[in-house]
Amino acid sequence: MSKPGCSAITSFDIHTRFVYTRAMNKNITLSADEALIEQARRRAMTGNTTLNELFRVWLARYVARPAAADQYEALMARLGHVKAGGKFTREEMNERR
């Protein structure tokens, strides 16, 4: 049913709600030698970055390492049928061709 004065196309109300979400970063405190921190800050500045950004990149890589190890193990399992041709003697490995 349409309201008086409304066309059939707009006979119902449309409600849209926008929900904005934002990733929340958690703050942590690290301890290190003051001189080392200052050297790291200077180095980060020369690379147009911050220690926070460098730490976030390091943390992401650190967490990804087990996944890389799992991928390697899966690859080795898939290549288990490949034979290297047997064991070689020291002389065979060092033989110049």
Give the angle subtended at the CA of 30 by the CAs of 25 and 32, to the nearest 5°: 150
**Does pLDDT of 67 surpass 70?**
yes
Q: Compute the mean pLDDT over every residue in the chain, rounded to the nearest whole number.
A: 82
Element (H, E) at 71: helix 51-78
> Given CA atoms 35, 40, 43, 49 in this order, what sign does their dihedral have?
negative
- Residue 14 to residues 1, 7, 11, 78, Cα–Cα distance (Å): 15, 14, 10, 54
User: What pLDDT score was predicted for residue 94?
Assistant: 87
pLDDT band per the 50, 70, 90 thresholds, residue 57: very high
Residue 19: pLDDT over 80: no
Instruction: Say whether pTM exceeds 0.75.
Output: no
Residue 7 in this model has a pLDDT that exceeds 60: no
**Cα–Cα distance between 46 and 48 in angstroms, integer?**
5
